[in-house]
């Protein structure tokens, strides 16, 4: 994986010193909160309901064991023994004292990590497919390009005060696991007919109060043009993006209001000015970054097939975990493992200090020291020999992280909601927990099949509810929590925004409503192979509306 | 009825104005029963904010039950107690502090 060079080390160290000085001046009363707020936000420090919150960047979701161990250390020493992995593949701590943050940042810098640009109206952490570098179906590892974008966008003088925040995601496979069409810029790394690498470029996706699916503005952008083209997009946005209204300031609104053809014309025109100048990426520079992401030396381990076969016979729970949480690797003797942070009744995305340390140990021993954070709030061991899967499973059982529910209904994305967040209008975590408990039976979950359920505690949609097969949005109505349900969203290569199904449900009613939706699906699907999302696209909302509300209409 | 709340600058912990200082629990916060009292609390908040003791100062609606102050809105109830999903965290985790306040 990427290692800091001298420049990176100096840059992060200088930033820690700068922000430490700003914190000291704030604590001494030399600068006001109004002066300090933009500075702390640029360094990932928010003020939430109970305390400050620190969001730490995990570039394209890639971590090594030492880094995860450090996150565990920070959770124990400076926080309350746990951290929360986010949909931007980052981690948040919920209780740090402002006065401790300089020490936390110094600890992070010692393992090549930081919290720069995890907030503010700048280019945020670039996300990538969590199976990048391991997936059997990718044309190339997308992370070198995410790293190039990271270097280009870090304290970029022109793009540090955009109209609004800006998010970029990259995938290297046809099957989109990085939700690129919900991003300001989505990049799909692919090969053209000549076998050259380049990108399909999508612009103007996003969630929040105005969800939009990104539009493809270029089918093939040569890799050398990555930075010049992104610069052209950002320039058009920076110039014409609305600064008069925060709710209309994202690029999705500009794309929507300007029209795809015109925005494409503007971007292409800007690009003509830039494409042959200094932003053109030299081949040797791309390959130099590539080298950092060279795959580990995967020695053949053909004994894996037999070992897995025997272990399956020996343990039903191992077998179920294997079916659900283990996916094919590009090397047939290896697999990529999803460590579910969605234990039944647990807080989605939370991990304790000791779990982080134990997972770091497992990664060091069995996954070439590599880990990923997924945008679905799980951890990934990208390169596990099939022969070692049983040992990994046993180690995960020991720390309570062997829940076999990847992509099932209890694998819920949930924002922190009103239990932590100052912007939230309703709680999300308790809703996730209750649904998880209701569907606790793995047998039942497997019968239901793939079902992406996502919950947000306010219209900002951090819990990605718009693109959940089932989405839940918590709002406050007449002083009480009310949960609105959307159906038919998805965040893959066929991205769609869910449709509101009808009136909302109280916190007492919401789990029953979800169960009714699931039972309706089970009753109408063609067979077990027709997933919830496919069935919904075939039949539309009517049967679900009927199931949820028909009784009311009759009663009325 | 309103009370004055904020977060402490140095550690961000939620606090409420009580007896001439900032208490870590809402239980015995100073209550404003009328506009004049609200103005007085607001002035105290503005001063404390200017003195860099606290940030994000707000007046919030409360009721009184069994001699203790309770927030009206769910958001403020959660601030006053801690996450509803983790009763080992936040103010609710420290009953002795609540009694002492």
Question: Do B55 and A47 lie within an 8 Å CB cutoff?
Answer: yes
Measured between beta carbons, which residues in chain B are less than 8 angstroms from residue A415? none
Measured between beta carbons, which residues in chain B are less than 8 angstroms from residue A29? 51-52
For the purposes of burial, counting CB atoms within 10 Å of the CB of B77, is it exposed (0-12), middle (13-18) or buried (19 or more)?
middle
Instruction: Give me the residue spans of the domains in chain A.
Output: 6-109, 142-292, 304-398, 413-555
Instruction: Tell me yes or no: is domain A413-555 CATH 3.30.413.10.
Output: yes
Specify the pLDDT at position A551.
81
Q: How confident is the model at residue B100 (pLDDT cuts 50, 70, 90)?
A: very low
Specify the pLDDT at position A552.
80
Chain A residue with the nearest C-alpha to that of B76: A49
Tokens of A404: 């076999």
Q: How confident is the model at residue B95 (pLDDT cuts 50, 70, 90)?
A: low
Chain A residue with the nearest C-alpha to that of B5: A49
Tokens of A481: 């929590």
Tokens of A281: 């990426």
Q: Which residues of A touch B (CB under 8 A)?
A: 26-27, 29, 32-33, 47-52, 80, 95-99, 347, 418-420, 424, 427, 429-430, 433, 476, 479-481
Domains held by chain B: number: 1
Q: How confident is the model at residue B98 (pLDDT cuts 50, 70, 90)?
A: very low
8 Å CB contact between B75 and B30: no
Specify the pLDDT at position A453.
98
Ramachandran bin of A372, using left for φ above 0, alpha for ψ from -120 to 50, beta for the remaining angles: beta
- Which structural domain, as residue segments, surrounds residue B56? 2-91
Mean per-residue pLDDT for B65-90? 96
Q: Which candidate, A201, A203, A137, A196, places its Cα nearest to that of A172?
A: A137
Return the CATH fold of A6-109. Sulfite Reductase Hemoprotein; domain 2 (3.90.480)
Question: Do A51 and B56 lie within an 8 Å CB cutoff?
Answer: no
Specify the pLDDT at position B99.
43
How much is the mean pLDDT over chain B? Answer: 93
Same fold, A304-398 and A413-555: no
Chains A and B: how many Cβ contacts under 8 Å? 74
Chain A residue with the nearest C-alpha to that of B8: A51
Residue B98 placed within a domain: no
Residue B100 placed within a domain: no
The kind and range of the H/E element at A362 are: helix A353-366
Q: How confident is the model at residue B94 (pLDDT cuts 50, 70, 90)?
A: confident
Specify the pLDDT at position B101.
37
Q: Which of B85, B88, B90, B92 to mutate to test the interface with A (most CBs of A within 10 A)?
A: B85
Instruction: Tell me yes or no: is domain A142-292 CATH 3.40.50.10480.
Output: no
Residue B53 placed within a domain: yes
Q: Which candidate, A473, A496, A475, A498, places its Cα nearest to that of A413?
A: A473
Class of A304-398 per CATH? Answer: alpha beta
Mean pLDDT by 10 residues, chain A (556 residues): 91 97 98 96 96 98 98 98 97 98 98 96 96 97 98 95 96 97 98 97 97 98 98 97 95 97 98 96 96 95 97 97 97 98 98 98 98 98 98 98 98 98 97 98 98 97 97 96 98 97 97 98 98 98 97 66
Question: Do A33 and B49 lie within an 8 Å CB cutoff?
Answer: yes
Higher pLDDT, B99 or A255: A255
In chain B the beta strands, taken as DSSP E runs, fall at 2-8, 14-18, 21-23, 54-65, 68-71
Specify the pLDDT at position A460.
95
Residue B99 placed within a domain: no
Opening angle at CA A86, ends B58 and A465, nearest 5: 85
Residue B101 placed within a domain: no
pLDDT above 70 for B91? yes
Torsion of CA A239, A240, A244, A247, to 10 degrees: -120
């Amino acid at each position: 994986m990427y290692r800091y060079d001298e420049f990176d080390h100096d840059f992060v160290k200088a930033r820690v010193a700068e922000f430490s000085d700003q914190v000291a001046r704030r604590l001494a009363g030399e600068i006001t909160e109004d002066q300090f707020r933009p500075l702390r936000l640029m360094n990932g420090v928010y003020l939430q309901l109970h305390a400050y919150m620190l969001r730490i960047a995990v570039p394209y979701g890639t971590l090594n064991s030492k880094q995860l161990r450090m996150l565990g250390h920070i959770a124990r020493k400076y926080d309350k023994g746990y951290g929360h992995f986010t949909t931007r593949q980052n981690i948040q701590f919920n209780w740090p004292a402002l006065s401790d943050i300089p020490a936390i940042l110094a600890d992070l810098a010692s393992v090549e990590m930081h919290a720069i640009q995890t907030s503010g109206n700048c280019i945020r952490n670039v996300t990538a497919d969590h199976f990048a570098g391991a997936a059997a179906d990718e044309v190339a590892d997308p992370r070198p390009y995410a790293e190039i974008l990271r270097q280009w966008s870090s304290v970029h003088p022109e793009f540090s005060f955009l109209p609004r925040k800006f998010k970029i995601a990259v995938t290297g496979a046809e099957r989109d696991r990085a939700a690129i069409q919900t991003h300001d810029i989505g990049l799909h790394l692919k090969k053209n007919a000549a076998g050259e690498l380049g990108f399909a470029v999508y612009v103007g996706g996003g969630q929040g109060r105005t969800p939009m699916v990104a539009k493809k503005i270029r089918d093939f952008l040569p890799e050398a043009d990555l930075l010049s083209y992104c610069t052209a997009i950002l320039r058009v946005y920076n110039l014409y993006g609305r600064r008069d209204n925060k709710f209309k300031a994202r690029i999705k609104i500009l794309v929507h209001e300007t029209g795809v053809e015109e925005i494409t014309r503007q971007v292409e025109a800007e690009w003509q000015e830039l494409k042959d100048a200094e932003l053109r990426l030299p081949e040797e520079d791309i390959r130099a970054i590539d080298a950092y992401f060279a795959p580990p030396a995967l020695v053949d381990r053909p004994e894996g097939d037999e070992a897995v076969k025997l272990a399956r016979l020996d343990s039903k729970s191992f077998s179920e975990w294997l079916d659900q949480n283990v996916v094919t690797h590009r090397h047939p003797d290896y697999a990529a493992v999803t460590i579910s942070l969605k234990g039944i009744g647990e807080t989605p995305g939370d991990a304790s200090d000791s779990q982080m340390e134990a997972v770091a140990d497992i990664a060091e021993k069995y996954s070439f020291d590599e880990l990923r954070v997924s945008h679905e709030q799980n951890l990934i061991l990208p390169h596990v020999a099939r022969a070692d899967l049983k040992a990994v499973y046993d180690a995960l059982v020991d720390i309570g992280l062997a829940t076999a529910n990847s992509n099932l209904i209890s694998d819920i994305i949930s924002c922190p909601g009103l239990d932590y967040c100052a912007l939230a209008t309703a709680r999300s975590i308790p809703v996730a927990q209750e649904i998880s408990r209701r569907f606790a039976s793995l047998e039942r979950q497997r019968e239901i099949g793939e079902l992406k359920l996502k919950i947000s505690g306010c219209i900002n949609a951090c819990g990605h509810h718009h693109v959940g097969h089932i989405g839940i949005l918590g709002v406050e109505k007449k002083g009480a929590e009310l949960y609105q349900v959307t159906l038919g969203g998805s965040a893959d290569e066929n991205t769609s925004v869910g449709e509101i199904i009808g009136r909302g449900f109280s916190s007492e009613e919401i789990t029953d409503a979800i169960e009714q939706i699931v039972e309706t699906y089970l009753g109408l699907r063609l067979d077990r192979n027709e997933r919830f999302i496919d069935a919904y696209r075939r039949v539309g909302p009517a049967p679900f509306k009927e199931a949820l509300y028909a009784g009311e209409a009759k009663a009325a | 009825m309103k009370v004055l709340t904020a977060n402490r600058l140095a550690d961000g912990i939620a606090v409420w104005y009580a007896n001439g200082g900032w208490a870590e629990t809402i239980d015995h916060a100073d209550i404003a029963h009328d506009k004049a009292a609200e103005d007085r609390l607001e002035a105290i908040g503005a001063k404390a904010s200017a003195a860099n003791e606290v940030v994000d100062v707000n007046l919030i609606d409360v009721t009184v039950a069994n001699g203790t102050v309770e927030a009206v809105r769910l958001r403020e109830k959660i601030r006053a107690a801690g996450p509803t999903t983790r009763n080992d965290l936040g103010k609710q985790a420290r009953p002795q502090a609540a009694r002492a306040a």
